[in-house]
Structure 1
Amino acid sequence: RDGDAADYDVPGDAPADPADDDDADEAPVPTRPFDREEQRARLQQAERKLAQLGRVNPLALEEFAALEQRHLFLTEQLADLTATRKDLLTIIDDIDRTMQGVFAAAFEDTRQAFDRVFPILFPGGTGSIHLTDPEQLLTTGIEVSVRPAGKRIERLSLLSGGERSLAAVALLIAIFTARPSPFYIMDEVEAALDDANLGRLLTILEQLRDTSQLIVITHQKRTMEIADALYGVSMRQDGVSAVVGQRVSRDARPDPATDPGPDATAGSAPEPAPEEQAAS
């Protein structure tokens, strides 16, 4: 049959049974003619949706349970990492505050020591140290301002080689004084100094030796003369390096403040070897 004039009840649209006493008072559900094309479209749409669902996975429940456990584990791990990160940030903040306090105290002590040491090495001159960024103590730098007597130079780059060396030594001595150590090692710190500045440096070294041991690598005879022991490295005739040492009597050492200069002789100090190390 062509179905053009036939009427069919669409599922879900059946009219109420008038013989049913329970539904007698309800309004009848209207019916509509059967449309083959419309129903075919509905069928095709349902088939497409069914195809999109794919094949039924019989292990879906087991996989869901496994993924649920994995999700629970990762959630706990994330919570643990978040708490650990918070604790680490708190510890870092505490360490930063401690570092700032320690650095501020050490810098203040060094600044005061520099103010005491500088006039000894630069008679009549002025010098100071200050922070480049006082608000950021963890990243700040330190600037050294030096003005020798009779000069208006403040930058270290404009000073002579000896003056720069002496300014650096002044800063080192200030650090040594502010935070003492059992021993110090210096490598030719006085190589660029003239006789007058060398005498001032030796005066400072004599003060440091009362509380610490000094190991100085030097070629300066006057520096060797104030040492307690001399150690030298020389080349033997067979080409093998040899270490020689000698103790120096305190009575034989000259006073660096009154020593006339490089022509002074040491009572028991040997002639300097090619590379000499003085220990006091």
Structure 2
Amino acid sequence: MPNDLEESIQSRRNQLSRMGAINPDAPAEYEELQTRHDFLEQQLADLEAADGHLRRVIEELDELTSKAFAETVTKVNAVFGGMFQRLFGGGSAELLLTDPDDLTISGVDIIAQLPGRRPQGLALLSGGERSLTRVAHFRPAHRVAHAVLHDG
């Protein structure tokens, strides 16, 4: 046998011995892992689709609740000022949104101006003034809420 052929055979034997033992179950294991991988890929795609859908639903709900909240504050405000004037014999009061740029997190502050005084927040009024202001706010808020619940 030629010397080059013997060297080639020996080289191949060395490569085979370095490869180690052959796993006869490797094709079946590969197929099983491939099936599992495909399943997990599909699950991931489903979850990403559901995530996108839920985010769109949340955006729609935020828009709807923001719109309803703004409309409610506007309706209550329209009646609140008049009720306040009747209870105090003048002055003015209004509801102000704490964050008009993001109604999903906004609160509502009450600003009242009693006759002959400057506008101030509810916390700066006396106990009796706060109570009457709350009554002036409660009646319109109750009417609007009642109308929303029974008409909408």
Task: State the TM-score, normalizing by the size of structure 2.
Answer: 0.81
Query: Helix, strand or coil for the counterpart of 1:55?
Result: coil
Matches within 5 A, 1:77-226: 77-152=43-118, 154-180=120-146
Correspondence for 1:34 = none
Correspondence for 2:41 = 75
| 8 A contact 1:127–1:145 mirrored in 2 | yes
Larger RCO (CA within 8 A; separation ≥ 6): 2
| 8 A contact 1:113–1:178 mirrored in 2 | no
Counterpart CA distance in 2 for 1:54 and 1:99 is 67
Correspondence for 1:61 = 27
Counterpart CA distance in 1 for 2:116 and 2:82 is 20
Deviation at 1:59, TM superposition (A): 0.7
Alpha-carbon displacement from aligned partner over 1:128-159 (angstroms, at most 9, x marks no partner): 11112111011111111112123335132221
Structure 2 residues without counterparts, runs of 5 or longer = 148-152
| 8 A contact 2:73–2:95 mirrored in 1 | no
Query: Helix, strand or coil for the counterpart of 2:31?
Result: helix
Counterpart CA distance in 2 for 1:50 and 1:167 is 92
Task: State the TM-score, normalizing by the size of structure 1.
Answer: 0.46
| 8 A contact 1:126–1:148 mirrored in 2 | yes
The list of structure 1 runs, each at least 4 consecutive aligned residues, that deviate by more than 6 angstroms after superposition, is none
Counterpart CA distance in 2 for 1:85 and 1:116 is 47
| 8 A contact 2:76–2:141 mirrored in 1 | yes
Code of the residue aligned with 2:47 in structure 1: it is L
| 8 A contact 1:145–1:156 mirrored in 2 | yes
Counterpart CA distance in 1 for 2:3 and 2:112 is 104
Deviation at 1:10, TM superposition (A): 5.4
Correspondence for 2:150 = none
Q: Which has the higher strand share?
A: 1
Counterpart CA distance in 2 for 1:105 and 1:10 is 96
Structure 1 residues without counterparts, runs of 5 or longer = 1-8, 13-38, 182-280
Query: Helix, strand or coil for the counterpart of 2:96?
Result: strand
Give the number of the structure whose alpha-carbon radius of gyration is greater. 1
Query: Helix, strand or coil for the counterpart of 2:103?
Result: coil
Code of the residue aligned with 2:146 in structure 1: it is P
Cα RMSD (Å): 2.3
